[in-house]
């Protein structure tokens, strides 16, 4: 294997996940929007998704974070940075990460907390960015949390996109690969092998929510309520993805000397079941190497990739030493990927 220039000795110590208590089936959703469960299954493939019922994004994020901390036998005092890698903020100010810190009961610890947001790619972008700081010794153990309440921004008149989304949260704790030496545990070869993110703003307006900022201020909601809801040209996004992703994956793999066959698992953003399957076929990724959770989670925006990663670990589909790829697209239009040895 060639040595990629941006390798980082970073280990994913643990993961955590939280799904809201309210489970919504395709049949139940179909009654709400006036379509059949079969229509939803054909269009999005999402049979079950979860919607918040009293939970907030920060509360869900804290639940997922506690799950990850327990899995690693750590407490919040062992964390020296909290980052929200979410696409949808709970409120305009302060940042999600500060609210998650509050929910974790760490209000007086002074742990730095900030957000990294690139919509559906937020987790991949956050992991890529912060891994350099961990490798450089700036932070020792970082908690990355992706928590999304997408159900509040759905335009229920858009039947196709309204069938895609679900709410939920996931958390990941990362540290230097040799962090285990402090616990007298065996060291691992875990590291990030290569990463890449590209943005093509010719697709910037294919997926957007234009209200809520200073273009369409919240005070204007009464005049233009639909400007504050999510909208997407799904076909245009898929066409652009199909044009860009094959070359992007080649560029991501090229410096490493690896091929798709060398990867144990590809963990994609769960845009939709149909999109994941079609793009996997186009990229030549065998079905058994693609981690899919869209059918029972929906598209949970930036939480999709870390939730799928959590499930791959929980279901023993990946083991320490396996090479995996995290891959996604987002509004912007952006594509991003990380190849790592778990």
269 is catalytic: yes
DSSP code per residue over 180-231: GGGGTPPP---EEEEEEEEE-GGGTTTEE--BSSSSB-GGGTTT-GGGGS-E
Whether omega for the bond prior to residue 267 falls within 30 degrees of 0, making it cis, is no
Q: Which of 247, 255, 153 is nearest to 195 (CA)?
A: 255
Residue 282, H or E segment: helix 273-283
Cβ atoms of 333 and 121 closer than 8 Å: no
Q: Which of 329, 1, 13, 338 is nearest to 175 (CA)?
A: 13
For residues 149 and 59, give the distance between their C-alpha atoms in angstroms, rounded to a whole number: 11
The residue annotated as part of the active site, out of 67, 96, 194, 299, is 299
217 is catalytic: no
155 is catalytic: no
The residue annotated as part of the active site, out of 95, 120, 196, 209, is 120
The residue annotated as part of the active site, out of 50, 269, 297, 310, is 269
Q: Tokens 């697709």 appear where?
A: 203
Q: What are 101's two structure tokens?
A: 């810190």
For residues 260 and 302, give the distance between their C-alpha atoms in angstroms, rounded to a whole number: 24
Cβ atoms of 170 and 306 closer than 8 Å: yes
Residue 14, H or E segment: strand 10-18
Q: Distance from first CA to last CA of the chain, Å, rounded?
A: 16
Sign (positive/negative) of CA torsion 69, 73, 79, 85?
negative
Q: What are 313's two structure tokens?
A: 């670990």
For residues 86 and 218, give the distance between their C-alpha atoms in angstroms, rounded to a whole number: 21
For residues 197 and 119, give the distance between their C-alpha atoms in angstroms, rounded to a whole number: 13
For residues 327 and 239, give the distance between their C-alpha atoms in angstroms, rounded to a whole number: 17
Which residues are known to be catalytic? 120, 269, 299
């Amino acid at each position: 294997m060639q040595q990629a220039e941006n390798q980082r000795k970073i280990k994913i110590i643990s993961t955590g996940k939280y799904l809201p208590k309210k489970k919504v089936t395709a049949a139940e959703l179909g009654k709400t929007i006036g379509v059949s469960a079969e229509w939803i299954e054909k269009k999005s493939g999402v049979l079950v998704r979860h919607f918040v019922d009293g939970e907030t994004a920060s509360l869900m994020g804290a639940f997922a974070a506690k799950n990850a901390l327990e899995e690693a036998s750590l407490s919040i005092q062992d964390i020296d940075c909290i980052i929200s890698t979410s696409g949808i903020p709970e409120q305009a100010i302060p940042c999600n990460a500060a609210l998650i810190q509050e929910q974790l009961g760490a209000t007086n610890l002074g742990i730095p907390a900030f957000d990294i947001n690139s919509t559906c790619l937020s987790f991949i972008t956050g992991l890529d960015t912060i891994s350099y700081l961990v490798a450089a010794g700036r932070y020792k153990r970082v908690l990355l949390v992706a928590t999304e309440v997408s159900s509040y921004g759905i335009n229920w008149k858009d039947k196709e996109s309204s069938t895609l989304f679900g709410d939920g949260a996931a958390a990941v704790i990362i540290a230097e690969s040799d962090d285990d030496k402090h616990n007298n545990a065996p060291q691992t070869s875990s590291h990030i092998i290569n990463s890449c993110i590209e943005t093509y703003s010719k697709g910037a307006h294919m997926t957007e929510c234009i209200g809520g900022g200073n273009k369409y201020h919240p005070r204007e909601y009464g005049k233009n309520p639909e400007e504050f809801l999510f909208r997407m040209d799904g076909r245009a996004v898929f066409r652009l993805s199909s044009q860009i992703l094959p070359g992007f994956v080649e560029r991501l793999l090229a410096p490493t000397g690896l091929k798709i066959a060398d990867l144990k698992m590809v963990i994609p953003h769960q845009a939709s079941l149909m999109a994941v399957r079609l793009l996997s076929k186009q990229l030549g990724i065998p079905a058994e190497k693609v981690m899919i959770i869209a059918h029972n989670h929906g598209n949970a925006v930036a939480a999709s990739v870390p939730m799928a990663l959590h499930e791959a670990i929980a279901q023993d589909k990946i083991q320490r030493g396996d090479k995996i790829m995290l891959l996604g697209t987002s509004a912007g239009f952006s594509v991003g990927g990380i190849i790592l040895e778990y």
